Amino acid sequence: MEEKSVNDAFWHAKWQRNEIGFHEPQPNMLLIGYFSQLHLPTGARIFVPLCGKSLDIHWLLARGYHVSGIELSHIAVQQLFAELGLSPCITPMGVLKRYEAGHLCIFVGDFFDLTPQFLGHVDGVYDRAALIALPAHLRQRYAKHLVAITNSAPELLICLHYEQSCRAGPPFSVDEAEVRQHYEGQFLLTRLKNHDVPGGLKGICPATETVWKLIPRNRCGL
């Protein structure tokens, strides 16, 4: 678990120093363009893992979805609620804390400490920057835990692929083979879009983004 502790310390330090270049200044265009492919009704509960203070949450809430998430940094979560103009009720949940107001519920703490009982029912998952934020030794564990706590809910997954030797992550490169390794046993995977990232990965090397739709096989009659 020492490597995991190093990873946690990395993200805590990023938020403490306000080094959050990964925080997009607008809702993600791939979310806007493809989230409807999950065919979830207004009022559905969407889980956003490793959510930071993403403006994607603002977008989901504005469209009538209920949003739950988990984030390691209390700084990020406090800023998220402040930027939404919400005053959360804060409740201890084991080693986690739950921040809740309106249709938004965010757990603060370690993703792997979140249980199905704490999280409750989930209708869909949106992962833009969680899987690719984790080093290789944590990604398989992450995917398995995500499936378990969400009861294999449908998912929109956005991944980044580039030559990993060009740059140390995060974000890390996750290709199609790895996505299938983690999820194909439980889900029918559909690649919705694959496109080159303009300017590549921070101008260092070419990169592509892929949008995946994951539908549970037991809901597809497979």
> Which residue is associated with the tokens 């406090």?
78
In sequence order, what E strands does 30-88 have? 45-49, 66-71
Whether the Cβ atoms of residue 163 and residue 205 lie closer than 8 Å to each other: yes
15 labelled as ligand-binding?
A: yes
Q: Which amino acid is at 73?
A: S
86 labelled as ligand-binding?
A: no
Query: CA 54, CA 103: separation in Å to the nearest integer?
Result: 16
Whether the Cβ atoms of residue 82 and residue 74 lie closer than 8 Å to each other: no
71 labelled as ligand-binding?
A: yes
Q: Locate 31 and state its tokens.
A: 């979310």
The number of residues making up the chain comes to 222
> Which residue is associated with the tokens 């990023």?
14
| Phi, psi (rounded to 5 degrees) for 169 | -75, -175
The bridge status of strand 96-101 relative to strand 104-108 is antiparallel
Whether the Cβ atoms of residue 41 and residue 61 lie closer than 8 Å to each other: no
Cis omega (within 30 of 0) for bond into 135 = no
| Phi, psi (rounded to 5 degrees) for 171 | -70, 150
Annotated binding site: 15, 50, 71, 128
Annotated binding site for S-adenosyl-L-methionine: 15, 50, 71, 128
